[in-house]
Structure 1
Amino acid sequence: MTLFRHAKSSWDDTIPRDFDRPLNKRGEKAAVTMGKWVKENGLTFDHVVASPAVRVIDTIDQFVKGTGERIDATWDRRIYLASSATLMDVLRDQSDDYKDVLMVGHNPGMEDLVFDIVPDDGSSPLRDLVWEKYPTAAIARMELDIDSWADIDRKCGKLTHFIRPRDLDAELGPEDE
């Protein structure tokens, strides 16, 4: 399972609803960069479930430019600004026909989901990086010890990848550095 936080969005005051915020230029570049990394590292998914917020749709559109692969996402409004518990419910609802799901959504739910799924027992050293910050456009990939999506629960996974845009391009690091 892979979690992908949407890329950096615009805070233009003329956009009345948070749900409608698009990506800014930096976010577009980060999403393309992450797509290229996914392709270069052979990460694959057979299903994508995502928040229908504009910034998530834009993130996926730019990510596809990097991967060169078409993505037909299932839009699930429950993901928009969801808690970890709600995100787990969304995952439990996935068909067992899917072996590797990509979920695209928002913080703090995405980072909380990593903390809930990955035990704090030293088995996943990358967990400390998530603790520092799960920035926009970051990707967390986990191996889950489950037989069915319905079985997903706390402490059932191991974090195998945590990659941030700044790990791939220093210009995509925090703006205050």
Structure 2
Amino acid sequence: MKTLTLLRHAKSGWNDTVTRDVDRPLNGKGKRAAAAVGKHWRGLGLAFDHVVASPALRVAETITHLVSGYGSDLAAVEDRRIYLASAVTLLDVIHDLPETAEHVLMIGHNPGLEDLVLMLVPDDSASDLRDTLEEKFPTASTAELTFDGAWAEVGADRAMLTRFIRPRDLDPALGPDLE
């Protein structure tokens, strides 16, 4: 059985005067959320034998802060296809994963990640996790999917969503700002 863990990058800053979207950094809340997620993963005993990530600065910074809580290096391989990718492009990345990898972590962006989960996980009324994710896949959230078969065989309605963790589930202060 293959396991794919999807992580949406942590909350980025919009106040920085960067000229390119790919160069947007995390804000303070995003840094705290990434560290909290990493600490939670460590508590769950999550381990990955392959990590693939978007080349965006906010993804690199998410990894840095995630590792501070996780306590172990994640040695991500950057794949330009993940940057702002559609679900279909992300599926191409999945199909190209090494078959020797059993538990893969992919770090990227919305709406592609959310759309990917909704494509791969069947819509049945028994899936409270899918319903929650369909409402919103917030920044620094984790979705874990499992598949039978090879990465090249992953397709629509062939996955099970086994875990969905939002930062606010770990610490209410990491949830949406109330104004």
TM range (shorter): over 0.9
Residue 65 of structure 1 corresponds to: 68
RMSD value, Cα: 1.0
Structure 2 counterpart of 1:38, from 38, 41, 66: 41
Residue 168 of structure 1 corresponds to: 170
Q: Which runs of structure 2 are paired with 1:24-173 in the superposition (5 Å)? A: 24-145=27-148, 147-173=149-175
Deviation of residue 102 (structure 1)?
0.3
Amino acid at match of 1:162: F
Deviation of residue 122 (structure 1)?
3.0
Q: TM-score, normalised by structure 1?
A: 0.97
The one-character-per-residue Cα deviations of 1:95-121 (angstroms, maximum 9, x if unpaired) are: 101001000000000000010010002
Q: Is the 8 A contact 2:16 2:24 kept in 1?
A: no
Residue 21 of structure 2 corresponds to: 18
Q: Is the 8 A contact 1:5 1:138 kept in 2?
A: yes
Aligned residues: 176
The one-character-per-residue Cα deviations of 1:17-75 (angstroms, maximum 9, x if unpaired) are: 11000101100000000001111011221110000000000000100001101111110
d(CA) in 2 for partners of 1:12 and 1:139?
26
Q: Is the 8 A contact 1:118 1:124 kept in 2?
A: no
Deviation of residue 123 (structure 1)?
4.4
Q: CA distance change for structure 1 residues 42 and 92 in 2, over 3 Å: closer, same or farther? A: same
Q: Is the 8 A contact 2:121 2:159 kept in 1?
A: yes
Which residues of structure 1 form unaligned runs of 5+? none
d(CA) in 1 for partners of 2:48 and 2:167?
20
Residue 11 of structure 2 corresponds to: 8
Q: Is the 8 A contact 1:123 1:158 kept in 2?
A: no
Q: Secondary structure at 1:174's aligned position in 2?
A: coil
135-144 or 123-132, larger mean C-alpha shift: 123-132
% identity of equivalent residues: 55
Moved segments of 4+, more than 6 Å: none
Deviation of residue 132 (structure 1)?
1.1
Q: Secondary structure at 1:120's aligned position in 2?
A: coil
Q: Secondary structure at 1:115's aligned position in 2?
A: helix
